[in-house]
Structure 1
Amino acid sequence: MPDGELADDEWHRLHPATPLLRGGLLLIAVGGFLFAQFRERLLDFVIGIADGRGQRGGGPGRDGDPLDWLIRSGYVPLALGALVLLVLVVILLFWLSWRMHTYRVTAELVEVRSGVLFRTHRKARLDRIQGVDIARPVLARLLGAAKFEVQVAGDDANVKLDYLRSRDADELRLEILRLASGVQAAKRASAGGSAGGAGGGGAAGIPGAPATASARLSGFVDDRVQEFLAPELDPNAAPPQSVVEMSAKRLVGSTIASDATLWLLLLIAGSIVTVALSGEFWILFTAVPLVLGFGSYQVRKVIKFLRYTIASTEHGIRVGYGVLATANETIPPGRIHSISVNQSLIWRPFGWWHIRINRAARSGHGGNGNQQQQQNAIVLPVGSRDDALRVLHLLLPGHDADELLPVLASGFGRDRGAGDFTTSPRRAAVLRWFSWRRNGFGYLSDAVLLRRGAIWRELVIVPFARVQSVAASQGPLTRALRLGVVDVHTVQGPISARLGALDVRDAEALFAHVAASVVTAAAGDTTHRWGVAAAAGAPPLVIDRAGAGAGAVSQEGAPASAASAADEPDSADKRVRGEPEERA
């Protein structure tokens, strides 16, 4: 199918196998279960008719059985007719549901219409798109189908297309991202000239005589085999040096050496001690379901991330995972609202790190909202220090390695850092017993960095253009210790950008700098149309780190803005709004 054919302002239907994948399999499973339950009765009925016995399907011990009553009353043909009619009605409803489930892509919207009796019409603005996900369950891969989801800012605002042809899903994602970037694809403009040779060639799109059934079947099988053997990420879609791959040994080791495993071992040890003291051995059996459930969850987690990759592509960050059932998502530029790099105490001897992100979209394929949001937030399940730095370099484009890597390396450290971070004073040890030396903040040219934790280390990075608001506050105890707390608010998610136990003057400087930087960054933000900005060669945002206290921020080639929101530095609660709504 030519590029742009699905993004042509026309309504299109889903994969023909959608009714089978969405509900037909359940119907077949129920039919198979019923047949397995009643196969002996059906055999008795058929043999009884063949032998001419007066008792057909009956037998001792079966009085009052509804099936016996149907056989003795002669209602079997009527019951079979009703069953066939019911199956036909269900099949008709599935077909109507597929027939009336259509979608189209315009220059501004993705629209989906669905429903038979109750119609729904959902629209997603392209400038609100947070990502595009494609999931391929095992059975769907065998049929050449894929789940397609457009993640949109807001609660339950995502647009789902289950299922599309696998190739159509890849092409549609590319077209949607091109339209969302603000650049009209050149291929769409030239599609009219090449349509004469590519279109009108039949259902298979092959000019000349139609292929035979055996040839089509052979081609279908070859496509499925190639899809299973092909790498998750097309080598032409990203430069090899930008790809971070998962180590199987590290993944298994990190799964075993996790906080959840530690708590499970403590629970088992407690159960054993309880049995030893009470003599009630049945207590051990209560832990068996928990162990089995936990073990299956950990195995699924390992299998899911075995084929994990992350790379930088033309239209954002591409994250893929899965072995048999695969999934991949593309996160466009400017859709990452905050980043968390964390390390637990158990992982510290191995030097492993974990990276999550906050995005504005809050729903996804399968699972409940909160659990799916936690899963979608993971961009690096486990990686070495170098892997974490490479992933951060992908998530924070536009930075030179000479600027980015030393600051981030200092953020990973256990001490105060080499002047890149402003840390808590010694008196903050009253509130931060172990972490007051690490607890602090720093800056990149377009983001604020919050470093906290000693046992569970964490580095939070918030781009200025994605900040919703910033607040500084003091409670009675912090006021007595001359300390302050700063909250950098972004969209709701698993990451909290809160830093406490700062010297009050440092807290005021952080508040003022972020407040001014947010206003300037939001005014010059063009990531919602990243393609236009890249084509126009927009100058990068430059923030004077030396003027952090006054919040000096400027656009290269433009005068600096001195807008400061800290008019009352002694106020116990100060807030400035950077953006009135969630930005895409």
Structure 2
Amino acid sequence: MTDPRIPAPEPVEGPNPSAPPQNGPPPYVQPEHHTAPPPQLVRSPLSDGEWHRLHPLTPLMRGGLFLIVVIGIVVANLRDRLVFIFLPWLAPDIEDEVGEWEGSGGDPIDFIIVNNLYVAAALAVLAVLIVLVAVFYLSWRFHLFRITGDDVEVRSGILFRTQRRAPLDRVQGVNLTRPMVARLLGMAKLEVVGAGADANVKLEYLSTANAEAVRADILRLASGRRLADAPAAGAAPRSGGRVAALGHTVGRELNGMIDGPEAPVDVPDSVVHIPVGRLVASHVVSMSTVALLFAVVAIMVGVSQGVTWLLFAFVPALIGLGAYWVRSIVRSLRYSIAPTPDGVRITFGLLTTITEIVPPGRIHAIEVTQPILWRPAGWWTIRINRLTGRSASDGSTDQFTTVLPVGTATDVERVLRLLQPSVPDDEWALIVREGMFGPGEIDSFENSPRRAWWIRPLSFRRNGFRLMDDLLLLRRGIVWRKLAILPLARLQSLGLHQGPLDRLTRVASARGHLVAGPVYAHLAAIDRDTALTLFDAVARGAVRAARTDRTHRWAEDAEAEAEAVAQAHASSDPRPDPVTADEGVPQPTALAPQHDAADGRTPGEPKI
């Protein structure tokens, strides 16, 4: 049974109309903190604080494809039997084999054939299909979501109800994934990334236009207070019926796969362009290729010596490595990264398009890396640590830890400017020159002392750190050049470690404690006294940065500045305000309750 407190939504994706008044007990009133978002802050009719259902084709994507796969497996296994039953003239020699099947007994198919139970078997299969379709339909009917002024909620389940909630002020990002089949049908999967383990909230599936609008609304509400850039979007006009609209969508998406970024998604211009040749060459010129060559040589030597089992042991590994290459290259095609008012937008994928907007202040660490084989070409890669909201049992990798697959030093500087916009412009040239390429004639980094050369014999001259107002830079490595950038406002703590050999050399190791991710913030062979000074400075800097950090509500500062400018202009005007001067009543803010012109409700009042 449905929850009587949940207003019954429309059977299609879209806003719920007001139900006629009924006699009886008053309807359930939502708690105050579940009021609808202010209408000025939303563009999608799905962001009105009411319960809505997902796209009507969601059961097809979530269950229909499974049925198609099962039917395909059954048909493949019963190919000869089906030919004998329905098209016997196409395989006249198969009758002898069928006789052997029937004589062996014990097979349900043979039992049906011998006893002529074709009609009963067909009815049984039809009943199973009806039950499955009913389950998928009920699952869709009971899967509801709503977007309020404080969080995104999802309720699902037929017998066992589940409710998930993602507070908007803890949103770490919003992913929009368009698998190939869903993309052809004009659908997308939206995932709100939370701040805890297993905290993500998924909306699969919505129409592409609604998914983009809902994502913009979620980020706008999470940013604090900012007026919408466009009026509320209504339902798209339909001409020629649903079948014609679906055919138009499929044709448009097929063209989008060939031509480039697809409509109606508004993709900003990327600050980095990765040529396909560079992308392929970066995978070929890599340490995995070196390992592959060693493996091939070992296989050839082993087979020549009569050890043939090596061939069967390494062939699956070679196939897996080749599949990884192809998947990585295809996934990185059409890569783009660009700034938006709500954060950094990252998009990639050829067949399956994946997009995420990472709001400001959600990046806990950045690492710029250059393998030694990329050094002649001058290529670098950038990875980040961020909260993913995934459960510990989720074995899938976070696809957005690599924000720049391969790029030049200029590309790296452009991406770093997007990831850390608070850094002064004159600092970036120094970070790139000294942090990435190492010490030159002038080096502002604190490097390892010469007495610790045996701890880092190859890289002790490069091994060092630099503390800025808001960042801690850790530079290390010679085979793999690495520069770790740690925002102090996101740093959990800093630890100093010293083993017995470190005590003899009077050095220590520093390790930044971060959220889990590919960036490992560790630096060895630091002078002991310098490390203690760094420890105190980082402790004070982290407290100061955390106290002044307002990136979790990134639109409030801009609005506060705009309000200050407006007040300054108002104070310079000698003419008094007729309302505030005569009555002394403050003006209502943009978030004050306002009546809806449609039904006279305030945004927090439920529909009756």
What TM-score range do you get, normalising by the shorter chain?
A: 0.7 to 0.9
TM normalised by structure 2 equals: 0.79
Q: Quote the offset at 1:233 in angstroms.
A: 9.6
Greater CA drift, 422-431 or 393-402: 393-402
Classify the secondary structure of the residue corresponding to 2:357: strand
Classify the secondary structure of the residue corresponding to 1:459: strand
| Pair 1:473–1:360, CA change in 2 (3 A) | same
Residue 93 (str. 1) matches residue 119 (str. 2): no
Residue 308 (str. 1) matches residue 348 (str. 2): no
Verify the 8 A CA contact 2:178 2:353 in the aligned structure 1.
Answer: yes
Verify the 8 A CA contact 1:337 1:467 in the aligned structure 2.
Answer: yes
Residue 247 (str. 1) matches residue 275 (str. 2): yes
Verify the 8 A CA contact 2:208 2:264 in the aligned structure 1.
Answer: no
TM normalised by structure 1 equals: 0.82
Q: How does 1:346-495 map to 2 (within 5 A)?
A: 346-363=373-390, 369=394, 371-373=396-398, 375-415=399-439, 418-495=442-519
The structure 1 residue matched to 2:303, chosen from 275, 282, 290, is 275
| Pair 1:215–1:177, CA change in 2 (3 A) | same
Greater CA drift, 83-92 or 412-421: 412-421
Q: Quote the offset at 1:215 in angstroms.
A: 4.9
**Counterpart for residue 31 of structure 2:** none
Classify the secondary structure of the residue corresponding to 2:489: helix
Deviations along 1:78-104, one digit per CA (max 9) or x if unpaired, are 222221111100000011111111111
Q: Quote the offset at 1:430 in angstroms.
A: 1.7
| Pair 1:232–1:512, CA change in 2 (3 A) | farther
The one-letter code matched in structure 2 to 1:438 is: R
CA distance in 1, matches of 2:254, 2:74: 34
CA distance in 1, matches of 2:197, 2:493: 20
**Counterpart for residue 27 of structure 1:** 67
Verify the 8 A CA contact 2:102 2:114 in the aligned structure 1.
Answer: no
**Counterpart for residue 286 of structure 2:** 258
Q: Quote the offset at 1:235 in angstroms.
A: 9.7
Q: Quote the offset at 1:136 in angstroms.
A: 0.8
The one-letter code matched in structure 2 to 1:500 is: A
CA distance in 2, matches of 1:473, 1:424: 15
The structure 2 residue matched to 1:514, chosen from 516, 522, 538, is 538
**Counterpart for residue 164 of structure 1:** 206
CA distance in 1, matches of 2:43, 2:492: 37
Deviations along 1:48-77, one digit per CA (max 9) or x if unpaired, are 9xxxxxx9x973552214333223334332
The one-letter code matched in structure 2 to 1:6 is: L
**Counterpart for residue 579 of structure 1:** none
The structure 1 residue matched to 2:180, chosen from 134, 138, 159, is 138
CA distance in 1, matches of 2:264, 2:434: 35
Deviations along 1:105-132, one digit per CA (max 9) or x if unpaired, are 1111111111112211001111111111
Q: Quote the offset at 1:295 in angstroms.
A: 0.7
Q: How does 1:291-302 map to 2 (within 5 A)?
A: 291-302=318-329
Residue 339 (str. 1) matches residue 369 (str. 2): no
Deviations along 1:501-538, one digit per CA (max 9) or x if unpaired, are 11112111211111100001111111110011222249
Q: Quote the offset at 1:144 in angstroms.
A: 0.9
| Pair 1:233–1:427, CA change in 2 (3 A) | farther
Q: Quote the offset at 1:185 in angstroms.
A: 3.3
| Pair 1:58–1:459, CA change in 2 (3 A) | closer
Q: How does 1:220-231 map to 2 (within 5 A)?
A: 220-225=249-254, 227-228=256-257, 229-231=259-261
Q: Quote the offset at 1:463 in angstroms.
A: 0.6
CA distance in 2, matches of 1:215, 1:76: 38
**Counterpart for residue 557 of structure 1:** none
| Pair 1:23–1:281, CA change in 2 (3 A) | same
Deviations along 1:345-382, one digit per CA (max 9) or x if unpaired, are 11111111110000022439xx9746513x32100111
**Counterpart for residue 43 of structure 2:** 3
Which segments of 5 or more consecutive residues in structure 1 lack a partner in the other structure?
49-54, 539-584
CA distance in 1, matches of 2:517, 2:87: 65
The one-letter code matched in structure 1 to 2:286 is: S
| Pair 1:234–1:335, CA change in 2 (3 A) | farther
The sequence identity of aligned pairs, in percent, is 45
Verify the 8 A CA contact 2:285 2:374 in the aligned structure 1.
Answer: yes
Q: Quote the offset at 1:44 in angstroms.
A: 4.7
| Pair 1:471–1:281, CA change in 2 (3 A) | closer
Q: Quote the offset at 1:315 in angstroms.
A: 0.6
Considering Cα pairs closer than 8 Å and 6+ residues apart, tell me whether 1 or 2 has the greater RCO.
2
CA distance in 1, matches of 2:287, 2:131: 52
Aligned residues: 513
Classify the secondary structure of the residue corresponding to 1:10: coil
| Pair 1:230–1:11, CA change in 2 (3 A) | farther
CA distance in 2, matches of 1:226, 1:67: 45
The one-letter code matched in structure 2 to 1:246 is: I
CA distance in 2, matches of 1:108, 1:418: 51
Q: Quote the offset at 1:227 in angstroms.
A: 4.4
| Pair 1:370–1:404, CA change in 2 (3 A) | farther
The one-letter code matched in structure 1 to 2:63 is: G
Residue 216 (str. 1) matches residue 245 (str. 2): yes
CA distance in 1, matches of 2:364, 2:243: 52
The one-letter code matched in structure 2 to 1:109 is: D
The structure 2 residue matched to 1:289, chosen from 312, 316, 319, is 316
Q: How does 1:139-154 map to 2 (within 5 A)?
A: 139-154=181-196
Verify the 8 A CA contact 2:146 2:153 in the aligned structure 1.
Answer: yes
Verify the 8 A CA contact 2:179 2:351 in the aligned structure 1.
Answer: yes
Q: Quote the offset at 1:46 in angstroms.
A: 6.1
Deviations along 1:123-149, one digit per CA (max 9) or x if unpaired, are 111111111111111111111111111
Deviations along 1:15-59, one digit per CA (max 9) or x if unpaired, are 1111111121121232233244445545655689xxxxxx9x973
Q: Quote the offset at 1:283 in angstroms.
A: 2.5
Q: Quote the offset at 1:419 in angstroms.
A: 3.1
Deviations along 1:469-511, one digit per CA (max 9) or x if unpaired, are 1222322211111112222212122212121211112111211
Q: Quote the offset at 1:246 in angstroms.
A: 1.2
| Pair 1:497–1:370, CA change in 2 (3 A) | farther
Greater CA drift, 65-74 or 2-11: 65-74
Q: How does 1:562-577 map to 2 (within 5 A)?
A: none
The structure 2 residue matched to 1:18, chosen from 58, 62, 66, is 58
The one-letter code matched in structure 2 to 1:143 is: L
Q: How does 1:5-154 map to 2 (within 5 A)?
A: 5-38=45-78, 40-42=80-82, 44-45=84-85, 59-63=99-103, 64=105, 65-154=107-196
Classify the secondary structure of the residue corresponding to 1:346: helix
Residue 328 (str. 1) matches residue 328 (str. 2): no
